[in-house]
Amino acid sequence: MGLTRREFIKTSAAAAAAASLGTSLIPGAASQLFADSTKWHKSVCRFCGTGCGVMVGERDGKVVAVKGDNLNTINKGHLCVKGFYLHKIVYSDTRLKHPMIKKDGKFQRVSWDEALNFVAERFNSIRKQYGPDALAFYGSGQAETEETYMANKLYKGCIGTNNMEGNPRLCMASAVGGYLTSLGLDEPVGTYDDIEQAEFFMLIGSNTAECHPILFERIIRRKHQNPNVKILIIDPRKTPTDQITDLHLFPKPGYDLAILHAMARIIIKEGYADEQFIKENVVFKDNKKDLTFEEYKQFLEKYTPEYAANDSGVPAEDIVAAARMFGRAKTAMSMWTMGINQRTRGVWANNLITNLHLLTGKIGKPGCDSFSLTGQPNACGGVREGGGLCHLLPAHRSVKNPKHREEVAKVWDVPVSNIQPKPGKHTIAMFEALNKGEIKGIFILCTNPAQSLPNAAKYRKGLEEQFVVVSESFFPTATTKYADVVLPAAFWTEKEGVYGCTERRSQYMPKIVEPLGEARWDAFILRDLAIRMGFKKEFEKYKTAEDIWNEYISLTKGKDMDLSGATYRRLKKVRGLRWPVPSEDHPGTYKRYVQGDPLFDELPREKKKGRWIYFYGKPEGKAVVWARPDKGPEEPTDEDYPFALTTGRVLEHWHTATMTGAVPELNRAVPKAYVEIHPEDAKRLKISNKDQVVIETRRGSLKIEARVIDRPEPGTLFVPWHWEEWMINNLTIDAFDPGSKEPEYKVCAARIKKA
């Protein structure tokens, strides 16, 4: 980066202070920020997938403050520590302000015309010489829906390649696979409203307190108001979430599938299953065929508490207690994130969680849901719903489906033959293809794969050798080092658009200030690039963000995720709308598949046959309970690598810290990476707190400070992944789930020694 860590912190701290001069939260200056001269704009937080409402304070054309939006029902005015500092990030010294082209190894400032013409010429030249599949796009769950929509049209509809991916592949793909295979359609049945009605929470593979703090706060409040509410955690590591737990199961990383089967077995054996619900609404399958309920029970016989205990390291009696907690509760809500999704059997793990809800009938009712938490603010809205992955088209459509291709081609006004029927390369395959030279040009938008890919060092070859364009708000990042062209992208508050969060809620964000320097909105960068590549007719019509949104929502009409009623006009007034919302007078949908869901309500009576829930994405409206085998991680521990290495987040930082790293307070709170090691392991290896240690895996090594603490279980190491200086992703494994193609960041074999 050219700056030491300490210099960087100082520089960004000084910049942030200068930027907020006269507007920071100065003691005694009680009238400054909340004075009439500050104009407040309703918006949405830029960080995780919770979708908290924020009010952005603007004065004299500058963003000067952020406060929670107390009218937004998600966070009711509260913010977590990251959202609290959003305004400081807008004017970070690390903002990229001008287009640059790398000439003779050094970035040189150029005009927008020169940069875009250069990219267009190179992309067209690659396309002409090697075909459309030699080009690729790698986007982001942080991009607005409008931005991803433009990239989708350019790549799939005009260039003619499905090599279009986004970082949600690395975090949400297994949840998508889980919902599709279990319930028939992507995204949750319920919403956050269920939190206040649930009697039992199963938090599995989720450090809710640090990764989704506002939802954690809602769970805390629910428990404080109702002491009978029980909380079960299944996670290999003790975290701040444990403050509210009633029972914590600590499986070895990657060994929780057998626990979930054992819980299902106990639930059935002890009479907690809802036989009527099962009879009416559920079918059973294994990986090859349909099963009867009896055959499923036979499958479960293997999964005694003792078997699961032996597999996972969790005491059998705790597994029994966990199953009884789930079974006895009148209502139950499961929540999970990367501990479940980032696994080579992430889809199966998702299925097995939903199994418990289907067996007990605790789904589709208030206070009940199998609810995946999202890590990015628009992974659901822009990429899952917008179709920003290599096998998808907008509005939950598939490239494989000829009808879907026709529908989309018609709206895009492109020949249907442009859209290839074969899925493109998923993320890991895409970066492998860059390494091999099969992909020769890539446009990377609003993400930092050189740091965030698993086994990251392996994929730098392709980034070094091929033509790389990076559109970013921040510079430098680990990825811009490898760029041939960097394009300055407008940041949050400098552009308008829509984010869709975890609970199917789409929320509008206004443009409040002008972009810094020469930064431009990504959707228009893509539009202008497309025009220069020869797609003028297809792109010149997009004059405003609303033009793009209107076209997108026209594609959602009649789909399960109908957003036809979520017009800009309406979204500007309300605190988001939860789809399906088929018309402008529709209030949005709290629960899918039941009364109140317009798609359920429209189903003919003869189809519903008196049923109160109908999973209309599945044949006969029946969800699937899956008999999946239990399987451990791709790289189990062994004599040479006896530790399980797992990675994750801290409360104060986010992803590759391009944003949180620009906030002095957040750097101050957690200034560096560390490895958590259990005191027993540390004692055996003669490692003391704050010693420098070396972690090694089959892919790389990292020198880092030890934190001797009883958060991880013996035999497990934990490293937060935010820092480029301590890049743990050089050590993580790039094996991926064969279904979702999501990599197994959460488990690999490692060893550790004193440096």
Which residue numbers are catalytic?
82, 171-172, 338, 375-376
SS (H, E, C) 414-473: CCHHHCCCCCCCCHHHHHHHHHHCCCCEEEEECCCHHHHCCCHHHHHHHHHHCEEEEEEC
CB-CB neighbours of 437 under 10 Å: 13
By C-beta, is 251 or 664 nearer to other proteins? 664
**Residue 692: burial class (beta carbons within 10 Å; 0-12, 13-18, 19+):** exposed
16 binds other proteins (CB under 8 A): yes
Candidate ranges 28-36, 254-262, 459-467, 565-573; the one touching other proteins (CB under 8 A): 28-36
By C-beta, is 29 or 415 nearer to other proteins? 29
By C-beta, is 27 or 619 nearer to other proteins? 27
- Distance between CA 580 and CA 603 in Å, rounded? 14
68 binds other proteins (CB under 8 A): yes
6 binds other proteins (CB under 8 A): yes
Q: How far is the CB of 82 from other proteins (least distance, A)?
A: 11
By C-beta, is 572 or 668 nearer to other proteins? 668
669 binds other proteins (CB under 8 A): yes
By C-beta, is 32 or 477 nearer to other proteins? 32
Q: How far is the CB of 65 from other proteins (least distance, A)?
A: 7
34 binds other proteins (CB under 8 A): yes
Return the axis-axis angle of helices 316-328 and 305-312, rounded to nearest 10°.
120
Candidate ranges 79-87, 163-171, 268-276, 472-480; the one touching other proteins (CB under 8 A): 79-87
The order of strands in the sheet holding 485-488 is 106-109, 100-103, 485-488, 467-472, 441-445, 135-139, 164-166
Candidate ranges 4-12, 342-350, 389-397, 617-625; the one touching other proteins (CB under 8 A): 4-12
Spatial contact of 575 and 507, defined as CB atoms under 8 Å apart: yes
Q: How far is the CB of 17 from other proteins (least distance, A)?
A: 4
Beta bridge partners of 472: 488
By C-beta, is 241 or 479 nearer to other proteins? 241
Using CB under 8 A, which of 80, 389, 489, 623 touches other proteins?
80
510 binds other proteins (CB under 8 A): no
Using CB under 8 A, which of 27, 61, 105, 619 touches other proteins?
27
78 binds other proteins (CB under 8 A): yes
Q: How far is the CB of 74 from other proteins (least distance, A)?
A: 13
Q: Which of residues 160-219 bind other proteins (CB under 8 A)?
A: 209-210, 213, 216-217
Spatial contact of 597 and 591, defined as CB atoms under 8 Å apart: yes
Using CB under 8 A, which of 1, 247, 416, 670 touches other proteins?
670
End-to-end CA distance of the chain: 25
- Distance between CA 325 and CA 309 in Å, rounded? 18
Candidate ranges 78-86, 165-173, 184-192, 543-551; the one touching other proteins (CB under 8 A): 78-86
Using CB under 8 A, which of 42, 47, 64, 67 touches other proteins?
67
Q: What does the DSSP assignment read for 43-54?
A: EE-SSSTT--EE
677 binds other proteins (CB under 8 A): no
Candidate ranges 59-67, 187-195, 475-483, 564-572; the one touching other proteins (CB under 8 A): 59-67
CB-CB neighbours of 279 under 10 Å: 9
43 binds other proteins (CB under 8 A): no
> What are the tokens at 540?
């010149």
By C-beta, is 570 or 672 nearer to other proteins? 672
671 binds other proteins (CB under 8 A): yes
Q: How far is the CB of 306 from other proteins (least distance, A)?
A: 36
Residue 42, CA distances (Å) to 514, 581, 640, 707 in order: 17, 21, 54, 41
Q: How far is the CB of 589 from other proteins (least distance, A)?
A: 26
755 binds other proteins (CB under 8 A): no
CA dihedral 422, 428, 431, 433 (to 10 degrees): -50
Using CB under 8 A, which of 312, 447, 667, 729 touches other proteins?
667
SS (H, E, C) 127-174: HHHHCHHHEEEEECCCCCHHHHHHHHHHHHHHHCCCCEEEHHHHCCHH
30 binds other proteins (CB under 8 A): yes
Q: Which of residues 578-607 bind other proteins (CB under 8 A)?
A: none
Using CB under 8 A, which of 1, 41, 73, 77 touches other proteins?
77
Q: Which of residues 214-253 bind other proteins (CB under 8 A)?
A: 216-217, 220, 240, 243
148 binds other proteins (CB under 8 A): no
Using CB under 8 A, which of 56, 79, 158, 291 touches other proteins?
79
Return the axis-axis angle of helices 173-183 and 346-360, rounded to nearest 10°.
40
Give the contacts of 203 (CB within 8 A, at least 6 positions apart).
231, 232, 233, 234, 235, 241, 245, 334, 335, 336
Q: How far is the CB of 654 from other proteins (least distance, A)?
A: 15
By C-beta, is 69 or 256 nearer to other proteins? 69
Using CB under 8 A, which of 617, 664, 739, 743 touches other proteins?
664
711 binds other proteins (CB under 8 A): no
CA nearest 43: which of 384, 499, 565?
499
Burial annotation 28-43 (CB, 10 A radius, 16+ → b, else e): eeeebbeeeebebbbb
- Distance between CA 286 and CA 630 in Å, rounded? 12
How many residues bind other proteins (CB under 8 A)? The answer is: 50
By C-beta, is 588 or 664 nearer to other proteins? 664
Using CB under 8 A, which of 390, 487, 529, 666 touches other proteins?
666
Binding mask 632-661 for other proteins (x = CB under 8 A): -------------------xx---------
Q: Where do we find the tokens 């079918």?
A: 283
674 binds other proteins (CB under 8 A): no
Give the contacts of 439 (CB within 8 A, at least 6 positions apart).
133, 134, 135, 136, 163, 425, 430, 433, 462, 466
Q: What does the DSSP assignment read for 594-660?
A: BTT-HHHHTS-HHHHTT-SB--TTSGGG-EEEEEPPP---SS---SSS-EEEEEE--TT--TT-TTG
Give the contacts of 650 (CB within 8 A, at least 6 positions apart).
210, 670, 720, 722
Q: How far is the CB of 275 from other proteins (least distance, A)?
A: 41
- Distance between CA 734 and CA 728 in Å, rounded? 13
Candidate ranges 20-28, 109-117, 355-363, 464-472; the one touching other proteins (CB under 8 A): 20-28
Spatial contact of 388 and 176, defined as CB atoms under 8 Å apart: no
672 binds other proteins (CB under 8 A): yes
- Distance between CA 419 and CA 161 in Å, rounded? 7
By C-beta, is 59 or 76 nearer to other proteins? 76
Interface positions with other proteins (CB under 8 A): 6, 9-10, 13-14, 16-17, 24-30, 32-34, 55, 65-70, 76-81, 84, 209-210, 213, 216-217, 220, 240, 243, 651-652, 664-672
